[in-house]
Structure 1
Amino acid sequence: MPHLVILYTANLDRPVAEGGSDLGALCRALADTLLAARDEDGRAVFPPGGVRVLAYPAAHWAVADGGAAGQAAGQGGDYAFAYLNLRMGRGRSAAVHRAVGQALEATAQAHFAPLLATRPIGVTLQIDEGPEVFDAKHSSLHPLFKKA
């Protein structure tokens, strides 16, 4: 953990010049944000081998009124939406939750700023934490980051 999953309307898969977004770049930027997170003692909040950011387009979607208000406002009716959900294990302080959320929000806002200025788009970020009722992990990633 952490796992950050992005669900988004597939119209964001268009080229940036056509009102789309580089979701691969967003995933990398969000992963780097998670890797940079520090707790109150300056320690990394998340183990590098546990950071996962995954983005999935929705093949079908309905957003708000379908475009009528956007067309009436002269902004077009091609609405877009991105939902970012961070899932992390228990044990971190409220201050860490807040700091991680604010850092992820800043990264997402910077990424989506050009779209927010030119088309109707909604962006939501939520953070969820345990309790897990079952948690099994098998990974050959974590040893890559262990210091000798």
Structure 2
Amino acid sequence: MPHLTVEYSANLEGRADIGALCDRLLKTVLETDLFEVGAVRVRALRADHFAIADQLPENAFVDLNFRIGKGRSAEEKKRAGEAILCTAAEVLAPLLAAPHFALSLEIREIDPDLSWKKNAIHPRLRGQ
């Protein structure tokens, strides 16, 4: 962990570079120095079906869901969240300038007793 999921409304195709957003978010997460490189994942999921607010066709959203393991202080989580939201707002600034876009972020801690992983990336990056 951490895994950052970018869920976005399909009407952002051609209006936002979601690939660039993922790249920038990955860089931001790593720059916090709170997470091991081999654990970070950023993925984007397009929502083909959605209904937003007053249902104007230009209404759009990006929702960021950041799942992390336990072990970070409230201050560290807040710092990471602020950095992630700041990066997303910077990349998506043209959309935020219009009155038809919503950006949100939530950080969720994963219960370690209910989380199983196998990761072959860690040994490679750790030089083992």
Verify same fold: TM over 0.5.
Answer: yes
Partner in structure 2 of residue 5 of structure 1: 5
Q: How many correspondences in the alignment? A: 128
Which portions of structure 1, spanning 4 or more consecutive aligned residues, are displaced by more than 3 angstroms?
none
- Output the CA distance in 1 between the equivalents of 2:59 and 2:121: 38
The 5-angstrom pairing of residues 48-87 of structure 1 reads 48-67=37-56, 77-87=57-67
Runs (5+) with no aligned partner, structure 1 = 15-19, 38-43, 68-76
Task: Please give the per-residue CA displacement for 1:56-100, whole angstroms capped at 9, x wherever unaligned.
Answer: 111111000112xxxxxxxxx410011001000011001100100
> Quick one: which of 98, 114, 130 aligns to 2:94?
114
Identity %: 41
Alignment partner of 1:101: what SS? helix
- Output the CA distance in 2 between the equivalents of 1:119 and 1:147: 49
Higher strand share: 2
The 5-angstrom pairing of residues 1-148 of structure 1 reads 1-14=1-14, 20-37=15-32, 44-67=33-56, 77-118=57-98, 120-147=100-127
RMSD: 1.4
Partner in structure 2 of residue 74 of structure 1: none
Alignment partner of 1:81: what SS? strand
TM-score (norm 2): 0.93
User: Partner letter of residue 5 of structure 1?
Assistant: T
- Output the CA distance in 1 between the equivalents of 2:27 and 2:120: 20
Alignment partner of 2:66: what SS? strand
TM-score (norm 1): 0.81
Runs (5+) with no aligned partner, structure 2 = none
- Output the CA distance in 2 between the equivalents of 1:84 and 1:78: 20
Alignment partner of 1:33: what SS? helix
